[in-house]
């Protein structure tokens, strides 16, 4: 029961908050995406009349931004994962007496110490975003990209010259803090620029290049080690990271845009209000004004010609604050969001795909050398399969997901629920456990090297296909806090991968490749299969859990609303 107050201002404020929260609980991604009469796609969010609104930018410019993001994703994991292929030579460099042939005991101890270079980087790639994402939400995407890649570039230069173990470890850990930011900020940027019906395809490019970055780094690093020492890997990669920094500073705009919240509120206020949150008619009523106010792509305003003065103005790092929410609330929200079942499920899917790939790469060099006598560069070339799998995953995770969601939207009278994307998880339900079984059985029984290599390709396919579907799903459901949602998912995944990387070698040593990866396959199948109950009851679950007391503090303010 609401508390009674004699203060009319407080009463009015309380009524407004209740109305805003009612709207947010009612919406949560349930929007009319197709016009009731014409069946044409409605642009969600509705673009403003401002030519500087990112939603009004030309498709060519939008895809230029997507291309820069993909390049940034490629470099995110190049130095984070690529040098793992040279684990043996790196160990012998830092610990000269640790030779696997003459002193295997010392070599085993030393490899464990060198592994901290990569596990520490992986941990900070995820955990560092608990600082970067609130900054991006409060002060903008552009300063986050520039500052994070500046740290990444400086650390790359540092690692080219540092020959001490402690100094190199410190450099790798700080590098992880800088390298991981773009991984979580990129989905927010994509949501800033692209409409709801375009998002799945572009997000699949993002997840693909994030996955390809690992394989690309491993392949190039392996080829470098044929005729050069392992430190040349850093000398090759650092200029490429620096190139991303230059592009981010000189040719990448701020994509965050402060929308007219009075207009968004007036659209919401037109809702008469009585039906429950699961009614399709409510979604239609809530978006009816937006349908009439949404301009068609052909009549969208065009950006004015860019002058030197305007260009120099665009080089500003900071453009003011984007929200009145406190940094404390922005820091805490991701922790609360992970309690929401859809977000937790998406995080678990990331963990059983990307996390288990971390398990594979943490000992892939040793596994292929033991089973097939491969040298490092030969192991690296096996990751060509990972690139192929990732590229095939682009249409399977993006275009397929959009088509599946659109098919269900048409059947639902033009109203889109985020869960309509979930049946597109079926391919990953098959390929993820199959990939882990092929890898584990292939290595254990020394089957043809193509068997575990196909497993590498399939697990990377699943990463692009499955994780893209589930990530777009939760972003659609909680769009105003897309950054915090992505952070909750990626942070959980990074922590899981970090812990798994410590225990994979021990697990394999005790149980063997077949049993260890067989258990991983069963866990992966069970987690991914949870898309079925979410598809059936997900809408009710989202609205019910949004009213949980523990979730109440993380409800977003109305200045975070974007019109969907």
SS (H, E, C) 128-177: CHHHHHHHHHHHCHHHHHHHHHHHHHHHHHHHHHCCCHHHHHHHHHHHHH
pLDDT tens-digit profile of 191-206?
Answer: 899 988 888 889 889 9
Ranges 95-99, 383-387, 400-404: which has the least confidence: 95-99
CA distance to 227, 244, 294, 457, per residue, from 247 (Å): 31, 5, 33, 31
Taking 90 as the threshold, does the pLDDT of residue 343 lie above it?
A: yes
In 3D space, the residue among 364, 392, 336, 360 whose CA is nearest the CA of residue 524 turns out to be 360
Is a pLDDT exceeding 50 seen at residue 281?
Answer: no
| Per-residue pLDDT at 396 exceeds 80 | yes
- Decide if 365 contacts 379 (C-beta within 8 A): yes
pLDDT digits (tens, 9 = 90+) for 52-110: 889 999 999 999 999 999 999 999 888 888 888 888 889 889 998 888 778 888 887 88
How many angstroms from the chain centroid is the CA of residue 36? 33
d(CA 310, CA 186) in angstroms, rounded, equals 25
pLDDT at 356: 85
Give dist(CA 113, CA 497) in Å, integer: 17
Structure tokens at 398: 């993006």
One-character DSSP codes across 44-80: SSPP-S-TTSGGGS-HHHHHHHHHHHHHHHHHHTHHH
Question: pLDDT tens digit string along 33-55?
Answer: 777 777 788 888 888 888 888 99
pLDDT per residue as tens digits for the range 141-163 = 999 999 999 999 999 999 999 99
Q: How many CA atoms lie within 13 A of 46 on its CB side?
A: 20
Residue 447's CB is within 10 A of a number of other CB atoms, namely 14
Q: Which residues pair with 32 in a beta bridge?
A: 415
Contact 468, 200 (CB under 8 A): yes
Residue 314 pLDDT more than 90?
no
Contact 50, 301 (CB under 8 A): yes
Task: Give residue 312's pLDDT.
Answer: 78
Residue 297 has pLDDT above 70, yes or no: no
Mean pLDDT of the chain: 82
User: Predicted confidence band at 419 (pLDDT cuts at 50, 70, 90)?
Assistant: very high
pLDDT computed for residue 61 by the predictor? 93
pLDDT > 60? residue 24: no
128 pLDDT higher than 60: yes
Length of the chain: 564
Residue with tokens 């098919």: 407
Cα 165–chain centre separation: 31
């Amino acid at each position: 029961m609401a508390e009674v107050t004699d203060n009319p201002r407080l009463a009015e404020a309380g009524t407004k908050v209740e109305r805003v929260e009612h709207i947010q609980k009612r919406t949560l991604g349930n929007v009319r995406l197709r016009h009731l009469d014409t069946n044409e796609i409605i642009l969600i969010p509705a673009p403003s009349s401002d030519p500087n609104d990112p939603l009004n930018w030309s498709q060519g410019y939008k895809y230029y931004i997507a291309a820069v993001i993909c390049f940034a994703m490629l470099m995110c994991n190049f130095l984070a994962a690529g040098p793992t292929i040279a684990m043996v030579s790196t160990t012998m460099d830092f610990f000269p007496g640790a030779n696997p042939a003459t002193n295997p005991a010392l070599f085993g101890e030393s490899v464990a110490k060198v592994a901290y270079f990569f596990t520490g980087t992986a941990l900070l790639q995820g955990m560092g975003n608990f600082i970067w994402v609130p900054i991006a939400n409060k002060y903008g995407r552009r300063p986050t990209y520039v500052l994070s890649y500046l740290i990444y570039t400086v650390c790359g230069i540092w690692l080219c010259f540092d020959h001490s173990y402690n100094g190199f470890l410190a450099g790798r850990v700080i590098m992880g803090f800088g390298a991981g930011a773009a991984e979580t900020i990129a989905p927010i940027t994509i949501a800033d620029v692209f409409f709801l019906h375009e998002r799945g395809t572009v997000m699949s490019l993002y997840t693909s290049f994030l996955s390809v970055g690992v394989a690309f780094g491993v392949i190039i690093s392996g080829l470098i080690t044929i005729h050069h020492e392992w430190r040349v890997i850093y000398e090759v990669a650092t200029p490429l990271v620096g190139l991303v920094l230059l592009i981010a500073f000189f040719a990448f705009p701020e994509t965050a845009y402060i929308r007219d919240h009075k207009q968004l509120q007036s659209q919401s206020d037109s809702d008469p209000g009585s039906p429950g949150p699961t009614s399709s008619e409510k979604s239609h009523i809530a978006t009816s004004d937006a349908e009439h106010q949404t301009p068609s792509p052909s009549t969208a305003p065009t950006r004015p010609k860019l002058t030197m003065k305007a260009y120099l103005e665009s080089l500003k790092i900071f453009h003011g604050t984007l929200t009145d929410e406190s940094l404390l609330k922005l820091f805490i929200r991701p922790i609360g969001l992970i309690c929401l079942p859809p977000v937790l499920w998406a995080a678990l899917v990331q963990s059983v795909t990307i996390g288990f790939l971390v398990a594979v790469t943490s000992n892939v060099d040793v596994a292929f050398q033991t089973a097939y006598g491969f040298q490092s560069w030969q192991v690296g070339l096996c990751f060509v399969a990972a690139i192929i799998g990732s590229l095939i995953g682009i249409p399977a995770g993006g275009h397929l997901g959009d088509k599946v969601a659109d098919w269900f939207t048409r059947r639902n009278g033009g109203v889109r629920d985020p869960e309509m994307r979930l049946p597109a998880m079926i391919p990953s339900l098959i390929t993820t456990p199959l990939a882990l079984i092929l890898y584990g059985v292939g290595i254990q029984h020394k089957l043809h090297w193509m068997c575990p290599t196909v497993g590498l390709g399939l697990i990377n396919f699943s990463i692009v296909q499955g994780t893209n579907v589930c990530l777009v799903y939760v972003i659609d459901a909680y769009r105003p806090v897309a950054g915090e949602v992505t952070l909750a998912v990626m942070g959980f995944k990074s922590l899981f991968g970090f812990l798994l990387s410590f225990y994979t070698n021990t697990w394999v040593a005790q149980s063997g490749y077949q049993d260890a990866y067989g258990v991983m396959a069963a866990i992966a199948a069970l987690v991914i299969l949870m898309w079925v109950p979410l598809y059936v009851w997900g809408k009710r679950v989202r609205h019910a859990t949004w009213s949980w007391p523990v979730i109440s503090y993380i409800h977003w303010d109305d200045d975070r609303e974007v019109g969907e």
